[in-house]
Amino acid sequence: MPTKKTRALGSTDMKWTPIGLGTWDMERDAKKSIRALQAGLDEGANHIDTAEMYGSGRVESLVGEAIQGRRDQVFLVSKVLPSNADYDGTIAACHRSLARLKTGHLDVYLLHWRQKNKPLAETVRAFETLKQGGKIRAWGVSNFDVEDMEELAALAGAENIACNQVLYHLRERAIEIKLIPWCRARNIPIVAYSPLGQGKMPQHAALDAVAEDHGVSAAQAALAFLIRDPNVFAVPKSADERRARDNVRAADLALSTAEIKKISDAFPAKPRRGLPMI
């Protein structure tokens, strides 16, 4: 298995490869998806992101099958639905996820998005109970904007937030304006989901030129651009073995300052109201 460079995951004791493996919508062809996940791990990725919502639990089950015999090679992340995110519901949801994943613990457990009628304090209390019981090693959130992060940090301490997973790709760079700097200042990593545009790969001659100069695909160049910040990780999803390997290999691509500017100018970061999410 190729050795990939890793980065510290914020204040945790974990070191992740900059590019991991996403799993949204993978239940359509479980056998093919399992092979793709295993190919990504074989290529050196060391973290898999999933959620109880994906395929109503079916994706967690196929991830559990994909990592059988190699659980110690994988940092495993799952998410609790906000509808389950009161204290008792979070505890119960975590145990269901563990059963489907056939593992005794999650490395990181995330609140999938915020639901205003579910107090954050209850979710955090459940996360801390799960952590103390050895069911999770760390916890974080997904789809949280700056205001939500400020509230969470005041409640639980920024040092206890393992990461914030958000939508981030070349045509959706709004988080670079406020959210990424806020998280970077507090050592809270950003994890980019749908980093290739959810099947709608951004296209531009400048991106193609950079990719051609390196002998890689435009998708690989795009991923390398997104993880140029050492505080940013990405979890692209592919049910194709070759593409899964190519995605992981993108972490080996070092872009020059001029190349980064070329791509940035082609896909400028534009402010928008509200946090983008899908």
| Positions marked active-site | 54
Report which DSSP code applies to 159.
G
- Element at 232 (helix H, strand E): strand 232-235
How far apart are the C-alpha atoms of 59 and 196, rounded to whole Å? 20
Neighbours of 168 (CB within 10 A): 22
Phi and psi torsions of 102, nearest 5°: 55, 50
How far apart are the C-alpha atoms of 92 and 3, rounded to whole Å? 37
Pairing state between β 7-8 and 15-16: antiparallel
The residue among 29, 36, 136, 153 whose CA lies nearest residue 93 is: 136
Give the DSSP per-residue string, 8-73: E-TTSS-EE-SB-B--TTGGGGHHHHHHHHHHHHHTT--EEE--TTGGGGHHHHHHHHHTTT-GGG
The SS3 call for residue 196 is: coil
